[in-house]
Structure 1
Amino acid sequence: MDLPDLTSDCANCVGLCCVGMSFQKGDDFAIDKTSGTPCPNLDHTHRCKIHSTLKDDGFEGCIKFDCAGAGQRVTQMRFNGESWQDHPELMFAMMRDFENLRPLHERMIQLTEAGKTDLPEALETERADLLKRSARVWADTDTLKRRYDVFLTELAHSTAS
């Protein structure tokens, strides 16, 4: 099955998580930051100025975060490698697409993991179809969410028996 890369590749992203995420000062972040505002530690090349000292500088939340490959997919496939820094008019659309795609990528990881188990044939067929559909869309739909929720419920029942 042709799936997008589901691992983060910051070198092929333009810091979408560093813009899209909101921070609340506390255990995981040293500052408050609203979504849509670039992190003050993000440089002009889309790299973190304090990447090697994130934990010491109070940004453990950045270490814990993983976009599941959504950042580079939005940057490279939707926007052909363009940057919101070079083209500020792209920021809203890039943030929207990143926030829409990230949950789908997380779901694809879960579906891939579920495929490593011995599933009943009907459940495996649904898993494969959900994975294929999730890989083709750029935003979640209510129908896709419902199918995924039903799949998880059936998966839980099949592993409990």
Structure 2
Amino acid sequence: MDIPQLTSDCSQCAGLCCIGLSFQQGDDFAIDKPSGTPCPNLDQSHRCKIHADLKDKGFEGCIKFDCAGAGQRVTQMRFNGETWQDHPELIFAMMRDFENLRPLHERLQQLVEAGAKSLPDALESERIALIARTSRVWADTDSLRKRFNTFLKAVAKTQTS
């Protein structure tokens, strides 16, 4: 199976979580930041200026966050390594693609994890089919989401019986 990388590689990303996500000041973030606004801690090379001190500076939410590889996939595969900082006109398309791809990568992680369980043949076949389908698309659909949820419910039933 050709599964995209499901772990974050910030060196291959354009800081999409640092621009696309909103922050609300509280336990996890020291500031409010709306979606579409670059984090003030993001430098010109898409790196966090306070990465070594995130917890001390009040950004524990950044430590907890993992895009499951969606950021670098959008940056490298959809935009050929180009960035919104070099080409500001890309910002909205990059954010849109990141928000579309992130839940798919999270589902792929769950499908990979489900492979560690002893599944009946029919569920294992569906798991493999879902991985293949989810790995090829760039945006979620109602039918794919419904199929995934049906699969998860069936897996849960096999684990409780």
Q: Do both proteins adopt the same fold according to a TM-score greater than 0.5, normalized to the shorter chain?
A: yes
Q: Output the CA distance in 2 between the equivalents of 1:115 and 1:4.
A: 16
- The Cα RMSD (Å) is 0.4
Residue by residue over 1:96-140, the C-alpha shift from the partner in whole angstroms, topping out at 9 and shown as x without a partner, is 000000000000000000011110000000111001100000000
Task: Specify the alignment match of 2:132 in structure 1.
Answer: 132
Q: Output the CA distance in 1 between the equivalents of 2:86 and 2:113.
A: 38
TM-score (norm 2): 0.99
TM-score (norm 1): 0.99
| Alignment map for 1:14-93 (pairs within 5 Å) | 14-93=14-93
Give the counterpart letter for 1:10 in structure 2.
Answer: C
Give the counterpart letter for 2:124 in structure 1.
Answer: E
* 3-state secondary structure, aligned to 1:107: helix
5+ unaligned residues in a row in structure 1: which ranges?
A: none
Identity of aligned residues (%): 73
Is 1:97 aligned to 2:73, yes or no?
A: no
Residue by residue over 1:51-86, the C-alpha shift from the partner in whole angstroms, topping out at 9 and shown as x without a partner, is 000000000000000000000000000000000001
* 3-state secondary structure, aligned to 1:47: coil
Give the counterpart letter for 1:110 in structure 2.
Answer: Q
Residue by residue over 1:14-56, the C-alpha shift from the partner in whole angstroms, topping out at 9 and shown as x without a partner, is 1000001100000000000000100000000000000000000
How far apart are 1:5 and its partner, in Å? 0.3
How far apart are 1:89 and its partner, in Å? 0.4
Give the counterpart letter for 1:137 in structure 2.
Answer: V
* 3-state secondary structure, aligned to 1:153: helix
5+ unaligned residues in a row in structure 2: which ranges?
A: none
Task: Specify the alignment match of 1:158 in structure 2.
Answer: 158
Q: Output the CA distance in 2 between the equivalents of 1:65 and 1:20.
A: 13
Runs of 4+ in 1 over 2 A off after TM superposition: none
Q: Output the CA distance in 2 between the equivalents of 1:152 and 1:5.
A: 22
